[in-house]
Chain A
Amino acid sequence: MNILYANVVSEIQKLCLKKRTLFLLIISALIPIGTALILSVFQNNVGIIPITKNQFPIFVLSIFTSYFLPLVIAMVTIDLFSGEFGDRNIKIVLLRPISRFKIYTSKILSIGIFIIVNLAIAFIFSCLALILIKGNYQFINGFLKGLVAYGVSIVPMIAIAIAITFIGQFFKSTGSGLTISILIYIAISIISRLSPQFSRITFTSYTDWYQLWIGSSILIGKVISSFIIILSYSMIFFGIGFYLFDKKEL
C-alpha cells in the first residue's frame, strides 16, 4: 500500500474512532432538519417564509460555511496536529517509515475527506428536510444548483483547514490552539465586514464562493480570480505550516 494513502486511511480511521467525530456529523445532519422545522412552523403560522423551497439548501449552506463548518474544521484540524503533539501521540507516526511531508499532507487530505463527508451529509439532509416545507421544488433551480453550491464549497473550506493547520503548529494543546484559531477567524471576519478593501484580500471572505456559481450567469473572471486568491493563501499556509511541522522536535 502506498505510504501516503496508508496514512490517509489511518488518519480517517482515527477520526472515526473518536466519538466526537460522530457527534459532529450528527449535528451536521440535525442543522438542516432543525432549520426546516423552524421555517415550517413559521410558514404554518404566518403563511410565508423569507426563502423559497428552492433556496433552502443554499440557506443551510450559508449557515454551514459561515459559522458551523469553520468551527468543526478548527476542532478536527487542531486535534490532529496540536492535540497529537500535546499528548505526544504524533510520535507513533513520526517513528514509522513515512516522511514528515507525507504525514503533513495525509493529515490535510484526511481533513479534506472529512469536509466532503460533512458537506455531503448537510446536502442530503437539507434535501430530505424539504419535506417539511411547503411549496414547489425544481430540479434545476433547486437540486442542481444546491449540488453545485455544496460541491464548490469544498474548496474554501479546505483552504480554511490549511490555514488552521498553520496556526496549529504554534500550539501544543487542543484548547489553546482551538481558542486562538476561533479568535483569529472571528477577528478576520469582523474586519472583513467593516472594511470591504480588506475583505477582498482575505480568504475567509470567500466562504460564500458558491454564490458566484449559482447566479443566473457564472462570472468566469471572478470565479478564476477568487480561486487564485484561495489557492495562493492555501499554498502559502501549506508551505509555512509544513516548514514549522518539519522543524518540530519531540
Chain B
Amino acid sequence: MEKVLEVKGLTKLYKNNRGINDINFEIYKGDIFGFLGPNGAGKTTTMKIISGLCRADQGEVRIFGFDIVEQFEKAMQNVGCIIETVEAYEYTSAYKNLELVSRFYKDIKKARIDEVLELVGLKDYKNEKVANFSLGMKQRLGLAAAILSKPELVILDEPTNGLDIEGMVDIRNIITQLASEQKITFFISSHLVHEMEITCSRVGIIYNGKLVKMGYVKELLKSYDTLENCFMDQVRKEKSGT
C-alpha cells in the first residue's frame, strides 16, 4: 500500500502542559482516515503540525515522502486543507477567493473553479461576498478551496463543526463521493463518533494527547457494537491506566 502520510514520534507540549505525546501513524492511498477524539485531545495540534502551521518539539512528518519542514513546497503540492476553521477573504466573492487560491497551482482553469463551486453547491452564490455567507456556506467554500487543485490528500479538521444536520450530510456525501470517484485520500478529525463511523474506512482514537487505538472501522466493529463503545472502552482503559 502506498504511504501518503507518515507521522513519527510527534510531540508538542504547550505552556499549559497540554499537547500531544509521541503520535505515530500512517495513512495509505485511498483511506478515509478519521482522527477521533474529544475536544482538547490534540487533534488540531497534530493537524497543524502536519500542515506546517506549527512546529513539533520532536518527531517527523512526511507527506508523499517529503519532510514537511525541510521540503514544505513539495510536501504540500498535492494537499488540500481545512485546519481549525475555514478562512476566506470576506471582502470579496466566493469566485475571487478561489481565483486567489488557484494561483498557487499549475493549470487551474476558470472552468475548474466553476466545477468545484457546483460540486459544493455554491454555484448560484459565486459572485456574492463571503461576508454575507452563513457558516455552512463558508464551510462549503473551504472544502471547495481544499479540493480545487485536485489534491491527492485532503486534510479536514472538524469539517462539520457548527453545521446543521443537512449541512453535515451534504459534507459527508461530498467526501465519500470524492473518495470513490476521484480516489482522494482523506484525513478527517472529529469528535462526532457516529459521523466517523459512517464516513471513515480507518480511525485513530486520540485521547489526552496520545493515540490510544487505531484500526479499520470494519475490524473494530467486529469487537464492538458501535464505534462509540470502542471509543468509550479506550477512554476507560486510558483513565484506569490499563
Contact = CB atoms under 8 A, between A and B. Distances in A.
A3 interface: yes
Interface stretch (B24-32, B82-90, B195-203, B216-224): B82-90
A250 B103 contact: no
Central interface residue in B53, B87, B88, B92, by most chain A CB within 10 Å: B87
Contact of B54 (A9, A14, A249): A249
B53 A92 contact: no
Interface stretch (B15-23, B69-77, B116-124, B179-187): B69-77
B53 to A, nearest CB: 5
Contacts of B79: 97
Contacts of B87: 87-89, 91-92
B52 interface: yes
Contacts of A6: 103-104
Interface residues of A, number: 25
Interface residues of B, number: 30
A250 B76 contact: no
B148 to A, nearest CB: 11
Interface in B79-122: 79, 81, 83-85, 87-89, 91-92, 96, 100-101, 103-106
Central interface residue in B85, B88, B91, by most chain A CB within 10 Å: B91
A124 interface: no
Contacts of B73: 3, 97-99
Nearest to B12: A249
A96 B83 CA distance: 12
Contact of A89 (B48, B89, B105): B89
A13 interface: yes
Contact of B55 (A7, A98, A99, A249): A249
B83 A95 contact: yes
A95 B85 CA distance: 13
A87 B96 CA distance: 18
B11 interface: no
Contact of A92 (B54, B84, B101, B106): B101
B89 A95 contact: no
A166 B18 CA distance: 31
Given A17-B91, A97-B73, A250 B54 contact: yes
Nearest to A17: B92
Nearest to B72: A99
A66 interface: no
Interface string A88-117: 110110111111100000000000000000
A250 B53 contact: yes
Given A99-B73, A250-B48, A91 B53 contact: yes
A1 interface: yes
Interface in A134-176: none
A95 B105 CA distance: 12
Interface in A56-114: 87-89, 91-92, 94-100
Contact of B101 (A17, A88, A96): A96
B51 interface: yes
Central interface residue in B72, B74, B106, by most chain A CB within 10 Å: B72
B189 to A, nearest CB: 15
Central interface residue in B72, B77, B92, B100, by most chain A CB within 10 Å: B100
A92 B88 contact: yes
B89 A97 contact: no
Contacts of A10: 100, 103
A164 to B, nearest CB: 22
Complex A-B, nearest 3 residue pairs according to Cβ-Cβ distance, in ascending order:
A96-B104, A97-B76, A6-B103
17 contacts: A3-B73, A6-B104, A7-B103, A7-B104, A13-B100, A17-B89, A19-B91, A92-B101, A92-B145, A95-B53, A95-B76, A95-B81, A98-B73, A100-B72, A249-B55, A250-B48, A250-B84
